[in-house]
Amino acid sequence: MIKDTVYRFSSAYRGDFKVSAYHFNKGEKSCCIVGALRGNEIQQLYICSKLIRALGNLEKQCRISYNHEITVIPCVNPFSMNVGKKFWCNDNRDINRDFPGSKTGEPTQRIASEVLNAVSGYQYGIHFASFYIQGDFIPHVRMMETGKENKSLANLFGMPYAVLRNPKNFDENTLNYNWQMNGTSAFSVYTNETENIDEKSADLAVASVLRFLSRMGIIKYHCHGGYMTATIEESSLMSVRSSAGGIYRRIKQPGDETVQGEVMAEILHPYENTVLEEIKAPCSGVVFFAHKSPLVSESTVVYRVIKRIKN
């Protein structure tokens, strides 16, 4: 294992800012794995740390295939993580909305530019991502439909679901999109948590990456076969919104089955503890995403449901 610095700049108020990378084996640029781009992505950082340990052990056992290099960048935004901020600590910019970046732009644009340069040229790219809406997901792997994606590869992770996303305008400034535009087969892996550590889904994410690397012949690793991955279009997910604001009491959890008309959550009056709204399932299916915060505003997406296809 070789540790180096992808990008560094000095700061007037604290130590140097630096983005660290861990390289395993030498040879062709086979796979690059990126963790936390935002300061609140503790779970994503943790997953990368577990993966670095696992790959270090595999390298010592000579179980990384000849002429294959794997790189892991566990954290791209250590400044914000150190001070507990989600976005860039000075101007609240989101690094994952600043790709491909600029060498002469704002700090987040310069970071994005240097990181994209460092991760380019790899055959496969994996990003442990978080969603912009606060809540919990069924663990899944996601690909953007850019015209350059290879949909069949997503199944090799053995995750419960593979989600295909038709990119919006803002997606064009993300790492995943720019990776694909630069010729890398890019995937985003989502787990249950972001700001807290969830051991079960972290282990699932690590196993899914090792499974993918094994099936691509990059490592020699015997693992459980994983799930029979179900592929869905993100546009097919049914969103459920709140019609009132208040204290949110979640009843249905990600992965739970639900029947049309069943109560999934309640919104309570914050002062009187009366039920302002019963949120009911709009269809029968499986809960894919569930809002997590104990408070909810009116018109918030509180659930996303995979609609069951009738036979």
Task: For 261-293, write each residue's pLDDT tens digit.
Answer: 999 999 999 999 999 999 999 999 999 999 999
Instruction: To the nearest 10°, report the CA torsion of 256, 262, 264, 266.
Output: -160
What is the Cα 188 distance to its own chain's centre? 5
At a CB cut-off of 8 Å and minimum separation 6, what does 85 contact? 39, 40, 92
**Architecture of the domain made up of 237-307:** Beta Barrel (2.40)
User: What is the percent of the chain where pLDDT is above 90?
Assistant: 86
Cα separation, 212 vs 51, in Å, equals 13
Question: Which tokens belong to 127?
Answer: 């990003």
Q: What pTM was estimated for this model as a whole?
A: 0.93
Task: For 113-125, write each residue's pLDDT tens digit.
Answer: 999 999 999 999 9
The class level of CATH for 2-233 reads alpha beta
Domain(s) of CATH 3.40.630.10: residues in the chain: 2-233
Domain(s) of CATH 2.40.50.100: residues in the chain: 237-307
Residue found under tokens 């609609």:
307
Element spanning 50, H or E: helix 42-60
Residue found under tokens 């052990």:
57
**Which amino acid type is present at position 47?**
I
188: phi then psi, degrees, rounded to nearest 5:
-115, 130
Residue found under tokens 């086979």:
30
Collapsing DSSP to helix, strand or coil, 152 comes out as helix
